[in-house]
Amino acid sequence: MLKLARWFSLWSALVLPLAAQAQPTPSLDEKLNYIFDVSDVKNGFDIGYNVMKPRLLDKIQNSSSKITPEIADYISGLMDDEFVQIKPAMLDFVKEYYKRQFTEEEIVALYDFYRTPVGSRLATKLNAVTAGLLPEMQTFMSRQFAPRLSARVSNDARLRDVLKP
């Protein structure tokens, strides 16, 4: 029995560290993919798109009197299709942006943090907070910024003359 315990102890001391070393270290791209998965970046894209889409459609509809509701619905479908098509490129763009904005050490620190229980919860919570913030920020801007800008533009003699119909 003592021999078995010694053998197991020796095996643990020699083999377990090798097994731990045998696991490949994730690449920087894999770490970013993990960060994006935990923080649900793709869902964030959807939220941003859904906040932006109605305003973009309004601008398109207001650009021509020939855009009927049926044409607007058709354009809406095209927009949705294009958005689905471009999402992988958007993810690549964000990944490259992160690589330019953060050092490798900072990305590794984010990766390590998001792998902890509190980091994982925080990533999920931040996504929910951002999802709620976008429409509220849009409402805030339409109530606060838009009227102030409109008043300023209408009171500006130079702009008033330029914008006269």
Per residue in 36-95, pLDDT (tens digit) is 999 888 888 898 899 889 988 988 888 888 888 999 999 999 999 999 999 999 999 999
What confidence score (pLDDT) does residue 19 get?
53
Cβ-based neighbour number of residue 27 at 10 Å: 9
Identify the DSSP state of 8: H
Tokens 């994730």 locate to 26
What confidence score (pLDDT) does residue 6 get?
57
What confidence score (pLDDT) does residue 2 get?
57
What confidence score (pLDDT) does residue 8 get?
52
Element (H, E) at 109: helix 104-114
The angle at the Cα of 53, spanning 50 to 55, to the nearest 5 degrees, equals 125
What confidence score (pLDDT) does residue 22 get?
60
pLDDT 10s digits, 107-139: 999 999 999 999 999 988 887 887 788 788 888
Query: What are the domain boundaries of the chain?
Result: 28-143
88's CB contacts (< 8 A; 6+ apart) are none
| Closest among 105, 100, 98, 85 to 39, alpha carbons compared | 98
The pTM of this model reads: 0.65
What confidence score (pLDDT) does residue 3 get?
59
